């Protein structure tokens, strides 16, 4: 059986790289969605809702049959969601808050078929991340690189931010932005390309 073409409903360069490294061919087609948190919404519920929203809006815009992958990654500490920092000061505050502590990275993965967006495969994947104790000078040097400014939680584990991490429990690629084992399972289940 011929697999359907894969569409990544995300502009994330990290998700694109992970799919390329897995040997998948795909196109990128992302559209904005409202990413605000609903009242009383748990982080895992939010990640799944946003992943589904991203996949649905793209799937409904396509005319050719295809498999659409949406994902949303959240960094959570003390029940608070740490998004992308608005500036260097906020990035610094986030990193100091994570210093010497464990936090969770939760990614919602949602895969659907275009154009009808009626059949779904979804997963929420959690990874625990322990930061080493950070002194203000280390944080200042890292923030000055600019790397934290477009990343949830103000760090990229696959880049220089990996030096801040002492330990991870669970999927490493989840922390990068896409839990690959689970994403590939969902893609294959809906008839997308297998790696």
Q: By the 8 A CB rule, do 105 and 127 touch?
A: yes
Residue 195 counted as domain residue: no
Cα–chain center distance at 44: 12
Residue 156 counted as domain residue: yes
Residue 11 counted as domain residue: yes
CA separation (Å) from 128 to 67, 99, 107, 162?
A: 30, 14, 12, 14
Task: Determine which of 18-27, 34-43, 109-118, 163-172 has the lowest per-residue pLDDT on average.
Answer: 34-43
pLDDT tens figures, 49-96: 999 999 999 999 999 999 999 999 999 999 999 999 999 999 999 999
pLDDT of residue 7: 98
Which domain covers residue 53, as residue numbers? 6-189
Using the 8-state DSSP alphabet, how is residue 56 labeled? H
Residue 96 counted as domain residue: yes
How many domains, the chain?
1
Residue 160 counted as domain residue: yes
High-pLDDT (> 90) share of the chain, %? 93
Residue 1 counted as domain residue: no
High-pLDDT (> 70) share of the chain, %? 99
Residues 6+ positions from 14 with CB-CB distance below 8 Å: 156, 158, 176, 177, 178
CATH code of the domain containing 141: 3.90.950.10
Q: By the 8 A CB rule, do 6 and 58 touch?
A: no
Which of the residues are catalytic?
A: 72
Using the 8-state DSSP alphabet, how is residue 113 labeled? E
pLDDT of residue 94: 97
Structure pTM? 0.93
Averaged pLDDT score across all residues of the chain: 95
Residue 73 counted as domain residue: yes
Q: Is 182 helix (H, G, I), strand (E, B) or coil?
A: helix
pLDDT of residue 2: 74
Q: How confident is the model at residue 35 (pLDDT cuts 50, 70, 90)?
A: confident
Q: By the 8 A CB rule, do 127 and 170 touch?
A: yes
């Amino acid at each position: 059986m011929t697999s359907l073409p894969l569409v990544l409903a995300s502009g994330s360069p990290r998700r694109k790289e992970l799919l390329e490294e897995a040997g998948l061919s795909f196109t990128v087609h992302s559209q904005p969605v409202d990413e605000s948190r609903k009242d009383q919404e748990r982080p895992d519920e939010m990640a799944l809702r946003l992943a589904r929203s991203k996949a649905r809006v793209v799937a409904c815009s396509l005319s050719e049959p295809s498999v659409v992958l949406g994902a949303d990654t959240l960094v959570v500490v003390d029940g608070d969601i740490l998004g992308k920092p608005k500036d260097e000061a906020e990035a610094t505050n986030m990193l100091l808050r994570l210093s010497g502590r464990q936090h969770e990275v939760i990614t919602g993965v949602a895969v659907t078929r275009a154009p009808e967006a009626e059949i779904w495969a979804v997963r929420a994947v959690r990874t625990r991340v322990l930061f080493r104790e950070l002194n203000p000078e280390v944080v200042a040097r890292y923030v000055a690189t600019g790397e934290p400014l477009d990343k949830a939680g103000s760090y990229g584990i696959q880049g220089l931010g990996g030096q801040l991490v002492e330990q991870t429990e669970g999927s490493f690629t989840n922390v990068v932005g896409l839990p690959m084992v689970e994403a590939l399972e969902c893609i294959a289940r809906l008839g997308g390309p297998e790696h």
